Structure 1
Amino acid sequence: MYAVIKTGGKQYKVVAGEKLKVEQIPADIGSELTIDQVLAMGEGDTIKVGTPLVAGATVLVKVIDHGRHDKVRIFKMRRRKHYQKRQGHRQNYTELQIVSING
């Protein structure tokens, strides 16, 4: 069974037992969360699509870790104008383990 969930403004296809890095969620390591924004569910050939959410469907996840992604380097330049700008960014993330999909 799989589900399509929405968290942090993004959509993820998840399967039970899978690990996933999402936008940072303020939760303690080891705690379990319930994600109720399930957009679609499926098993085999059957698919249940919500309008916009599937009624009564939840995904139980466990918080494994918090961290930061690799640095992304931003470089802006205007040719012949003597303008160069360098910047870096590291996005925070929360690593989740999908415990179960209920629906």
Structure 2
Amino acid sequence: MFAVLKTGGKQYKVQSGDVLRVEKLAADAGEKIQFNEILMVGSTIGAPVVEGAAVQAEVIDQIKGEKLIHYVKRRRKHSSQRKKGHRQQLTLLRITDILESGADATGVKAAVGAGSVAAAPAAAPKAAAAAAPAAAGADDLTAITGVGPAAAKKLADAGITTFAQLAAVDVDTFDAVKVKAEWVAQAKDLAQ
């Protein structure tokens, strides 16, 4: 049985036992991973992806590819030449299993690219949890002229989340953020 999987923007036709070099994945040597983006299994062709299908693989090693030379030369311009080399980071895999269905129940870690945003899912809930308490009883401080998102975040970190709190700030003694007198005046108007 064979399958066609997609990873790193490329498609690979694989069978059990195949050894593959793919774009670098966020996994260590000896770890078992699962590819869930399967385009075809045997003779089943999926619309974008075959539902419930997966390919499991074992990471053999993290390697670098052969050196590719990029040379730029503009003719009759002796000072305009450039030579650069690049070695792509790759992951060496051995395909272990091809599953036609039941991929969700395996419990194997999904294959994720090394530079992918999905590689760090733990950071997103933390940011959402930090924004939720601030937004509960807070005013939109960016409504004040001159206060952008960065200044509003600094003010929130200093404990100022409402117009009334900003209106009560003494510009000369407040050290956490450079608060301007115009901000305090506008906050007094908006607090009423």
Larger radius of gyration: 2
> By percentage of residues, which structure has more helix?
2
One-letter code aligned to 1:36: N
| Residue 51 (structure 2) pairs with residue 52 (structure 1) | no
**1:51-75 C-alpha deviation (Å, 9 max, x unpaired):** 1000110111100011101111111
Secondary structure at the counterpart of residue 76 of structure 1: strand
Partner of 2:62: 66
Q: How many residues align?
A: 99
- Where 1:55 maps in the other structure, the secondary structure is coil
Which position in structure 2 is the counterpart of 1:87? Answer: 84
When normalised by structure 1's length, the TM-score is 0.94
Indicate whether 1:17 and 2:22 are aligned: no
Q: Which residue of 75, 92, 96 maps to 2:93? A: 96
For residues 81 and 93 of structure 2, the distance between their equivalents in structure 1, rounded to whole angstroms, comes to 39
- Which residue in the other structure is 1:29 paired with? 29
TM-score of the two chains, using structure 2 as the length reference: 0.51
Question: 2:74, 2:56 → 1: CA distance?
Answer: 49
Q: Distance in 2 between matches of 1:26 and 1:56?
A: 23
Query: Higher strand proportion, which one?
Result: 1
Gaps of 5+ in 1: none
**Shift of the alpha carbon at 1:6?**
0.3
- What code does the residue aligned with 1:84 have? Q
The alignment's C-alpha RMSD in Å is: 0.6
Structure number with higher relative contact order (C-alpha < 8 Å, ≥ 6 residues apart): 1
- CA-to-aligned-CA distance 1:58-99 (integer Å, 9 cap, x gap): 111100011101111111001012211111000000000000
Q: Which runs of 4+ in 1 moved over 4 A?
A: none
